[in-house]
Structure 1
């Protein structure tokens, strides 16, 4: 980790294309890369740039507290590469993460010029292969505690109506009791942590790769299957045939497990809480958040949810 000298941006009001320009410039200069002509791809929880001089993606995190997570993500990427596992790569020539202007910057090899998602069948293949790996202690993976993560997310929900926050907190407290009684049947071990169709891309050479490695942790493997299941079962984002392919290629149907509904409810609540953090900056997010909370209250309308 290298500390930069540029100001104290800290992910506040200056987390804009203009405010981040000096951060990008200094980070690239430190890494020995040419920032000129960089294309801003996304500006959300992270600012994501594609360099034009090399096939490299630059990621600047809005939250300055993610340094440890990103140090771990870089370590995970390099360990996966040593095992020839299809995942995003961290350039070996760059010492990272960097801290510039109080923000955490990482560099990743570009998968391809135009984002193309792979299939849920390929996601199943990669998860099955990942779950067979035994991680070394050197990675320092944390134990994944969804209840603690949800509690932190709910504590930071300051921009939503008070009655909605109370409802979500009460729902979380109820689900915590149910979660503690779950009897997981898959082996405990390394997980991706946010395994969904949105985190598997088609590489320019044709094969599928996992991206966004900062959620790697130790947990019941059911966590890596729940999103694909609820994307099909509750929201209709995957077809019946796609989910059947996922089950066939992973060799386990989470929906047949007695704890499925509890895990689905908990993962769903985490999704709603995540969206709640965006209601003050996006009208689209605010409308979707209201739709989802109403759906949780009534038990209806999940097929109207939009992907985010």
Structure 2
């Protein structure tokens, strides 16, 4: 069994993972601790990702395969480190090694994210990738089962909301083509590399689904959370060529994605103090129809 996923336990895995790959973990910087612990090494232009989910081997195998295929397509995306066997199982965790594309942390603009998604959605993935079908209803149910610290009242509410949304989702009439999606397409997963080019990162969510799923986070961040300006959102729509918010199914898709985000946060309340404060606030706002403008990004 893997230890509880904290900065300390992830750091221990990092040390062992770097040793096994012939790398030096000294001075490594923890960039984020969420679904993955992401470290930037000081000793080499390498980023090490350690998955929170100890059962993430299949998804990380897929991420590595996707990265290698995108490289053959000359698609601007994060690259895996060559010559290192991966994914690796270290200390009960799944570890992958990626080329560090930048020295600091600079995100792409929304219009650049739209260009990346438009180009991605034109690609035809090879059958060898064996991409799964994206099933948001299953993800919501998995998220509910994984909640350890939640009041009985909140659990009943979340389960009822999940059931209602699953029925509404089944009735949606999607208008964009079905095909390959990034799966977590938002500006936080589009970085600018050292040459100034926008690239996609975090490739483990690649799947087959209606393309609306790759647009909903940007719409949600703008319309409900206020994390994007109107001008930024309009630039995204102009460059991609479709405004999701004009599609009648957008509110349902936004509700489902919002619930997925909240349940993901709820799984971290025992190890993340910010998550422990944010999770009940989000549940209350969803329950009462309150404003999402105070929601904090993670």
Normalising by structure 2, report the TM-score.
Answer: 0.95
**Are 2:131 and 1:152 aligned?**
no
Q: 1:270-281 to 2 correspondence within 5 Å? A: 270-281=260-271
| Structure 1 portions without partners, runs of 5+ | 1-7
User: In the alignment, what sits opposite 2:95?
Assistant: 105
- 1:219 CA displacement: 0.3
Task: Say whether the 8 Å CA contact 1:160–1:279 is kept in structure 2.
Answer: no
> Distance in 2 between the 1:55 and 1:204 partners?
12
User: In the alignment, what sits opposite 1:253?
Assistant: 243
User: In the alignment, what sits opposite 2:201?
Assistant: 211
User: In the alignment, what sits opposite 1:36?
Assistant: 26
Does the residue aligned with 1:130 lie in a helix, a strand or coil?
helix
Does the residue aligned with 2:293 lie in a helix, a strand or coil?
helix
Paired positions, count? 298
> Distance in 2 between the 1:18 and 1:176 partners?
38
- 1:22 CA displacement: 4.8
> Distance in 2 between the 1:283 and 1:35 partners?
26
> Distance in 2 between the 1:281 and 1:16 partners?
6
Question: What is the RMSD computed on CA atoms of the aligned residues?
Answer: 1.5
- 1:113 CA displacement: 1.6
- 1:17 CA displacement: 4.7
Residue 165 (structure 1) aligned to one of 150, 155, 163 = 155
Does the residue aligned with 1:104 lie in a helix, a strand or coil?
strand
Task: Say whether the 8 Å CA contact 1:194–1:215 is kept in structure 2.
Answer: yes
Task: Say whether the 8 Å CA contact 2:54–2:92 is kept in structure 1.
Answer: yes
> Distance in 2 between the 1:256 and 1:263 partners?
12
Task: Say whether the 8 Å CA contact 1:247–1:253 is kept in structure 2.
Answer: yes
> Distance in 2 between the 1:221 and 1:30 partners?
39
- 1:16 CA displacement: 4.3
User: In the alignment, what sits opposite 1:5?
Assistant: none
Deviates more, 1:18-27 or 1:227-236: 18-27
Task: Say whether the 8 Å CA contact 2:174–2:212 is kept in structure 1.
Answer: yes
> Distance in 2 between the 1:176 and 1:20 partners?
35
Task: Say whether the 8 Å CA contact 1:50–1:56 is kept in structure 2.
Answer: yes
Normalising by structure 1, report the TM-score.
Answer: 0.92
